[in-house]
């Protein structure tokens, strides 16, 4: 049965949805009329030292289709013993294998072949993320997977441009620095962008000459295992890239605390980030990079075009029109706190409510859907509980606020007005399609409200005034500021957090450098007193 429309408020265009069901057939149950072929699940075992293997314990876990709540496949459940095997393979590949010893150009050629293979399997990979994570197939095919391939090529091009510096010493000494791969890296990636995050972590590490263990989120393991197979086919040597599927408290914790892992990278909640730092500190003091929670503000000033500002606000919490990436609010940098200057506030609220009608929630395999399901029942229930908190605390529900249908994890895009800054919906990272709308009077008040959060990942500013844009962007404590745009990511532009949003950077050359150690080499000049 396709997504039912009973209980959906009028702004979801009930009649259009019913007509869509008649035209498209039952996409959720994989009807043969579906325009997208459901992928065959090829890989469900751990990938260690270039081979797919069962977990040591033989245990498996279910990965669930968020469109239906039904099981897609059973996947090997990796544990500490499996992590030990993967780290051993990665350590041997780093200490004795060819990957760190290749020229950068040679590593780059293999990475380019890897990118080409990914592009050859665009439809299959996009479909895997659609049924495993609820991501829109059309966006995955058009943007997510091609962007992944180009990200690999970006770092492939940087692999032979890793240089140190020649130092002008103050004494009779000759000095220079070398940049060398840090060693074995552990990547613990989230479920909201399973393909993008896989390579935002692994691509710069590969270019640097590191070896690694990747643990995908237990909700979204399927594309990670597919990428492991393609790495093998591209010529990435055995042991360089290992994939351990399993749970955070077991497999993830084993990676974070392992004495032979030299660096751990994590994207996820601040709570888990703390645990990873503790594990790193109490083991071998490994380096840590964390991209954690966010509660990003979007500040709309009264000189803004209200129509465009309303579009941007909805895009900021639901969808990325510029890059056609669907996020359903499941993204750390979502602009979930929207502050509007009082001069345009009433007009903005009216416009926002009108535009919410265009957001059709449906099966991610349906090209007409603009929003898919939340990733799993736990996240679905969490979002609905926050919506109920908002109502109880006195916020006004402008639009949305309900689940859709009786199968899968679909939620209406939700906007609250009359939100106070101390309400849970305004302070906590909900990680779903929920916007908190608030009002401000002056620039100073806007800055104060924007900074009134424990997080500092990103912020948006909408204004035609350059002085306002410059003043506010320099005053907000966040790692990325977008002016008159949102989600404006680029391979060459790094991003990361301030405050409890973590530290370390993704993308750009800064992401490459975090996988490199700096070594200083000093020799005396002939006949110097140091000889």
The model's pLDDT over 390-400, given as tens digits with 9 standing for 90+, comes to: 999 999 999 99
How much is the CA Rg of the chain, to the nearest whole Å? 24
pLDDT band at 530 (very low <50, low <70, confident <90, very high): low
Mean local confidence (pLDDT), 300-307: 97
Say whether 445 is catalytic. no
Whole-number pLDDT of residue 276:
97
pLDDT at 99 over 60: yes
Of the candidates 510, 496, 508, the residue with the CA atom closest to the CA atom of residue 293? 496
Of the candidates 249, 242, 241, 240, the residue with the CA atom closest to the CA atom of residue 217? 249
DSSP, collapsed to helix, strand or coil, labels residue 504 as coil
- Using a pLDDT cut of 70, give the percent of the chain over it: 90
Structural domains in the chain plus CATH codes:
38-291 (3.40.605.10), 297-490 (3.40.309.10)
Whole-number pLDDT of residue 81:
98
146, 388 contact by CB (below 8 A): no
Catalytic pick from 17, 77, 291, 412? 291
Whole-number pLDDT of residue 5:
29
Helices (H), 361-439: 377-392, 424-427
pLDDT band at 368 (very low <50, low <70, confident <90, very high): confident
Mean local confidence (pLDDT), 45-55: 98
Rounded distance, CA 369 to CA 361, Å?
Answer: 6
Instruction: Indicate the pTM of the whole model.
Output: 0.88
Mean local confidence (pLDDT), 454-471: 97
Of the candidates 503, 528, 43, the residue with the CA atom closest to the CA atom of residue 287? 503
Tell me the per-residue pLDDT of 218-255, one tens digit each, with 9 for 90 and over. 999 999 999 999 999 999 999 999 999 999 999 999 99
Mean local confidence (pLDDT), 134-152: 93
**Residue 137 φ then ψ, to 5°:** -60, -45
Whole-number pLDDT of residue 17:
34
And the tokens for 487? 């989600």
pLDDT band at 365 (very low <50, low <70, confident <90, very high): confident
């Amino acid at each position: 049965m396709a997504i039912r429309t009973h209980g959906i408020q009028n702004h979801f265009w009930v009649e259009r949805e019913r007509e869509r069901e008649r035209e498209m057939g039952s996409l959720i149950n994989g009807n043969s009329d579906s325009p997208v072929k459901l992928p065959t699940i090829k890989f469900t075992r751990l990938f260690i030292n270039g081979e797919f293997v069962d977990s040591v314990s033989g245990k498996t876990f279910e990965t669930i289709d968020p469109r239906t709540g039904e099981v897609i496949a059973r996947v090997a459940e990796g544990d500490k013993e499996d992590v030990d095997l993967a780290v051993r393979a990665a350590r041997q590949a780093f200490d004795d294998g060819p990957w760190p010893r290749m020229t950068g150009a040679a590593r780059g050629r293999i990475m380019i072949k890897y990118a080409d293979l990914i592009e050859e399997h665009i439809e299959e990979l996009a479909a895997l993320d659609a049924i495993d994570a609820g991501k829109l197939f059309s966006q995955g095919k058009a943007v997510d997977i091609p962007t992944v391939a180009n990200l690999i090529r970006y770092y492939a091009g940087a692999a032979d441009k890793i240089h140190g510096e020649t130092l002008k010493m103050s004494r009779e000494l000759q000095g220079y620095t070398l940049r060398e791969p840090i060693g074995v890296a552990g990547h613990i990636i989230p479920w909201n962008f399973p393909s993008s995050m896989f390579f935002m972590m692994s691509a710069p590490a590969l270019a640097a000459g590191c070896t690694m263990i990747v643990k995908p989120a237990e909700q979204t393991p399927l594309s990670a295992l597919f990428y492991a197979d393609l790495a093998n086919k591209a010529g990435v040597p055995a042991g360089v890239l290992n994939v351990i599927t399993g749970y955070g408290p077991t497999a993830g914790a084993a990676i974070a605390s392992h004495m032979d892992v030299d660096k751990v990278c994590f994207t996820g909640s601040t709570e888990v980030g703390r645990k990873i730092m503790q594990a790193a500190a109490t083991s071998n003091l490994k380096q840590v990079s964390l991209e954690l929670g966010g509660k990003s503000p979007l500040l709309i000033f009264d000189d803004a075009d209200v129509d465009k500002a309303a579009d941007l606000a909805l895009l900021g919490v639901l969808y990325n029109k510029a890059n056609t990436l669907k996020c359903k609010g499941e993204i750390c940098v979502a602009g979930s706190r929207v502050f509007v200057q009082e001069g345009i506030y009433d007009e903005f609220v009216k416009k926002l409510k009108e535009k919410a009608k265009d957001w059709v929630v449906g099966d991610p395999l349906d090209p007409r859907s603009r929003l898919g399901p939340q990733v799993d029942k736990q996240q679905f229930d969490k979002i609905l509980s926050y919506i109920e908190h908002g109502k109880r605390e006195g916020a006004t529900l402008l639009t949305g606020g309900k689940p859709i249908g009786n199968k899968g994890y679909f939620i209406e895009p939700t906007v609250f007005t009359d939100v106070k800054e101390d309400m849970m919906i305004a302070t906590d990272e909900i990680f779903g399609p929920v916007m908190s709308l608030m009002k401000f009077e002056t620039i100073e008040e806007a800055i104060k409200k924007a900074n009134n959060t424990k997080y500092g990942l990103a912020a948006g500013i909408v204004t035609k005034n350059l002085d306002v844009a410059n003043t506010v962007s320099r005053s907000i404590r966040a790692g990325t500021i977008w002016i008159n745009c949102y989600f404006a990511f680029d391979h060459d532009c790094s991003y990361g957090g301030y405050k409890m949003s973590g530290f370390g950077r993704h993308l750009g050359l800064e992401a490459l450098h975090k996988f490199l150690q700096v070594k200083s080499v000093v020799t005396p000049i002939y006949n110097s007193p140091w000889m």
